[in-house]
Structure 1
Amino acid sequence: MDTAPEEEPKPVPKTYDAFLTDIVGQSWYQILHCGAFIVGSTFAYWQPQLTNFTAAYMNHWCKVPGLQGRFNETVSKSLSIPFTTDESGDGGFSKCHMYAVNFSAYTDQELLNGAHKINATTTVCDAGWNFDTSQYESTLMSQYDLVCGNEYLTTFAASAAVLGFVFGALISGQVADRWGRMRTSLVWTILEIAFAISTPFSPNYILYLILRALSCMASMAGYTTHFTTCLEVLTSNGRNAFEIVNTATSIIRLGTLPLTAFYVRNHITLQLVAGGLIICNAVVRCITPESARWHLSIGQVKAATKVTRIMARVNGKEVPENHEQLMEGIAEEERKKEGGKKAIIFDLFRTPRMRRITFIVFAIWFACVFANYAVQLNIGTLIPGNVYLNMYIVLGLGQIMVLPIKYVVYYKIGRVKGLVLALIISGLFSFSMIGFVRLTSIPALAAIASLIGLAFAATAFNAVYLYSGEIFPTPVRAAGLGVGSSIGRIGGLIAPQMPLLAKTWYGLPYLVMGIIPILTGIMAVLLPETMGKTLPETLKQGELFGIERNEEILREGHVEQHAVEMTEVTRNETANKSTSNQLYLPLLQRSTKAC
């Protein structure tokens, strides 16, 4: 009697990703979880861009009490404010000086005849300023009188936001690793609401900057922590899809800010609206379950089992009877992976090739963040035309361009070629702005140039993030990403100051914005390609990565020998090392020829 062949037992998942694929599945739970993140984080995207409106420039001139109520604004300005010419040859009414006369001593007819201007001198404004409210009802400039010698202080609002992002990114991971992803994300969101709503009522500008930095710190910390949970509920393929969807939906999310700012011209009201809408984010983070992967990382197997059971139920999957035992096995495997001596960031600088690669990657991080923020945070000052339309074109529609460029870089030409082309093209379009901003009859040309330049800069930013995760060896991968991101934020700190360079020459900001990406793009030529390559798992493999005969060297078993000699050379650079050089130099010569 024939018997049916026994079914082979399914392999037991040893990793959390395998558990997600084989047991939980990728379906409705992941869609709902990531969809809630995208919806909830809509207004988090507003925070770094708010300064394009809240810190916008307002035309201004001296307030003259002696003329109040006697003439309309246009006539009063022509009577009391001298006409001057700036360094670029453009003429206009002085913003910081007025005629030093007693206007009350003249009749209206005498003032209209210009009798007060005969032999009149000028003096600085001593009674405050009038502000042009035709475009903005108010901004930080009018609230804190950031004019004349203090006008440069308006750029500090954006720098304070970037500084907050730096600290938010640095501390969010450590706090979330200890207290949980969603719990800390919710706490950060509540703090963000409190700081954002209180910021516009600051009695002085220093307190405003402090609260602004704290608000953006909480925004970044909450966003990063919530974003991490999305990565932790997805498999590798799911993460790629999520990144594309997240980028595509930015068109809608970023478009809501200029639309809102168009109808809300008062900067205090706009900040209150932006802060109040973050409540939507708090609601989403309040109802989102904790990350099962985090529960496993701290040994909370029962809690992880409970969350994964919910995930499976939503996805229409049945969990096996030994569900909890499977989770315990996965937790044990994770603990084994974390064992042993841990590498530190300085290990990236101990060997020559890895040191060169690290310096170049960090320089690219700086250039990418600088190039992105220099445009994003200065749309109202460096791009002529309608600031509301320009913001939507540059930040909203620009995301459409990013998608095909990103696909080509990720799947066709490779990371290094993509970085080189993206950085150089971004820099060239920045150079083109020098000519376009003077074509006042066609301001759309400048907006289009900045749109294309920012699209390539954004692609370079995404590419260097991906490249950093591939080129750095596993023991220092997270550290390399973290330090690179922090160095990049330095570029973000100085990016808001670019409009100040225009006081020297109108084209200087665009010149700097072009030189930095182009130089780093040229440097990127020296990097090894990572697309389709076996990634380095150890520091030894990291030093050999990119050498043409790397795989042959690995197969021949020279890696250990090479690593020992390399370490001796590093530790004893000034000592007698002729024996070790006999082994190290041939490999180095082969490496050089291969490169």
Structure 2
Amino acid sequence: MGAGLFSVAGTLLLPGLAALVQDWRLLQGLGALMSGLLLLFWGFPALFPESPCWLLATRQVARARKILWHFAEASGVDPEDSSLEESSLVTELAMLSAGSPQPQYQSPLGLLRTQVTWRNGLILGFSSLVGEGIRASFRRSLAPQVPTFYLPYFVEAGLEAAALVFLLLTADRCGRRPVLLLGTMATGLASLLLLAGAQYLPGWTMLSLSVLGLLASRAVSALSSLFAAEVFPTVIRGAGLGLVLGAGFLGQAADPLDALHGRHGFFLQHIVFASLAVLALLCVLLLPESRGRGLPQSLQDADRLCRSPLLRGCPRQDHLPLLSPSDSCWAGHTPEQR
């Protein structure tokens, strides 16, 4: 979520930077320079170290120990301290490093051997693709209602920020799956209404549906990435999250298609993505709920994330014991014996 807010900030600052520079070559050079600085930042392990959790999950205990010791020293804590927490950590690392274990890397193809994880990843990738791809339809419907050139750009950036704030307020309180289901439902409903009433609905209704669709689709794509980070196991979390994000970027490729084929191509594209949104709504019901659960470490742990009921009602059966503990102790005794 934090990365998404930084992305929104960059989107809002980009027009001001372009107006200040007034040369697209210089603007492109500044973007390349910032990307190069980020690559240098990521290239130094001291500035951007590897995840100790991933190192331990792949049995790279020596590297994990080195990074954990670096974190402890940077925090002013002696890793060799005899306190209970530090001694338990030292003992656990010593047990893991016994026998010189070899690193065990997992390929993304290992998802094909799982029973549940591959399905969860496929559904989240599909919802990310739909959430990013259908935004072109809402953006096209929004453009005639907002005649100003820059206003749709800032409206979309503001809706992206609003979607991220909405997720921050609801995803942890209500759960990932219900919020994703709500966002997918709103996306599909707005798309179907725009598709059916494009020639009959008034302008303010078209504007409202376009804004709702942009807000919901952005929430769906952002929550799909967050959900994927909690569903995929640690050993392949980066690769799985990359696949889901890649599906979202593939959906963004549908943005210029309507300009290439004209109005008829846009109408067909809108029909396809509206149908896919309805299908994604049904697929989200098959996902597990990851709120309140620990992150899976191995593929076996990820396969244990089974689907739970969406609505938890009152139990139909009474599981209370027939006798209370005090009564069960005196079962078989007469009142005089008690």
Instruction: Sort the TM-score into its range (normalised by shorter chain).
Output: 0.5 to 0.7
Say if 2:26 is the partner of 1:272. Answer: yes
Q: Residue type of the partner of 2:172?
A: Y
How far does the alpha carbon of each residue in 1:489-514 deviate from its partner, in whole angstroms, 9 at most, with x for none?
Answer: 33233333134454326644433343
1:421 CA displacement: 1.3
**In the TM superposition, what are the counterparts of 1:141-540 in structure 2 within 5 Å?**
243-244=1-2, 246-259=3-16, 269-276=23-30, 279=33, 290-291=46-47, 293-294=49-50, 312=74, 318-320=76-78, 339=102, 341-350=104-113, 352-372=115-135, 385-395=147-157, 397-434=158-195, 442=203, 448-504=208-264, 507-540=267-300
Superposition deviation, residue 527 in structure 1: 1.7
Aligned in 2, Cα 1:439/1:278: closer, same or farther, shift over 3 Å?
farther
Alpha-carbon distance in 1 for matches of 2:20, 2:95: 55
Note closer, same or farther for the CA distance 1:358–1:493 as it changes in structure 2 (3 Å cut): same
Aligned residues: 292
Normalising by the residue count of structure 2, what TM-score does the alignment of the two structures yield? 0.64
Distance 2:5 2:114 in 1: 41
Instruction: Quote how far apart the aligned CAs of 1:391 are.
Output: 0.2
Offset at 1:531?
Answer: 1.4
Identical-pair percentage: 18
Q: Which amino acid aligns with 1:256?
A: L
The one-letter amino acid paired with 1:276 is L
TM-fit CA distance, 1:398: 1.1
Q: 1:410 deviation in Å?
A: 1.9
Q: Is the 8 A contact 1:420 1:521 kept in 2?
A: yes
Q: Distance in 1 between matches of 2:51 and 2:297?
A: 26
2:153 and 2:184 mapped to 1: Cα distance? 22
Q: What is the distance in 1 between the residues matched to 2:240 and 2:221?
A: 15
Q: Give the whole-Å Cα distance in 2 for the aligned partners of 1:287 and 1:345.
A: 26
Residue type matched to 2:223 in 1? A
**Secondary structure, counterpart of 2:250 in structure 1:** helix
Q: How does 1:66-77 map to 2 (within 5 A)?
A: none
Partners of 1:302 and 1:474 lie apart in 2 by: 17
Query: 2:232, 2:302 within 8 Å by CA — same for their partners in 1?
Result: yes
* SS of aligned partner of 1:293: coil
Q: Distance in 2 between matches of 1:548 and 1:417?
A: 11
* DSSP 3-state at the match of 1:257: helix
8 Å contact kept, 2:129–2:221: no
Letter in 2 for 1:255: L
Letter in 1 for 2:29: G
1:533-586 CA distance string (max 9 Å, x none): 34444434443432669xxxxxxxxxxxxxxxxxxxxxxxxxxxxxxxxxxxxx
1 CA distance for matches of 2:117 and 2:67? 38
1:277–1:448 CA distance, 2 compared to 1 (3 A): farther
Q: Does the 8 A contact of 1:365 with 1:464 survive in 2?
A: yes
- Return the structure number with greater relative CO, CA threshold 8 A, min gap 6: 2
Alpha-carbon offset, residue 295 of structure 1: 10
CA distance in 2, matches of 1:301, 1:350: 28
- CA separation in 2, counterparts of 1:436 and 1:491? 25
Cα separation, 1, equivalents of 2:37 and 2:307:
51
**1:335-364 CA distance string (max 9 Å, x none):** 789846444434433355445434323322
**Mapped contact 2:123–2:283 kept (Cα < 8 A):** yes
Asked if 1 retains the 8 angstrom alpha-carbon contact of 2:5 and 2:164, the reply is: yes
Q: Partners in 1 of 2:34 and 2:107 — Cα distance?
A: 39
- In the alignment, is the contact (CA less than 8 A) between 2:187 and 2:216 conserved in 1? yes
Q: CA deviation at 1:392?
A: 0.6
Q: Which residue of 1 aligns with 2:325?
A: none
Aligned to 2:322: none
Query: Aligned partner of 1:359: which letter?
Result: L
Measured in 1, the distance between the counterparts of 2:197 and 2:296 equals 45
Across the aligned residues of Structure 1 and Structure 2, the Cα RMSD in angstroms comes to 4.7
Q: Which amino acid aligns with 2:108?
A: I
Match of 1:401, SS? helix
Tell me how far apart the structure 2 counterparts of residues 355 and 283 of structure 1 sit (CA, whole Å). Answer: 35
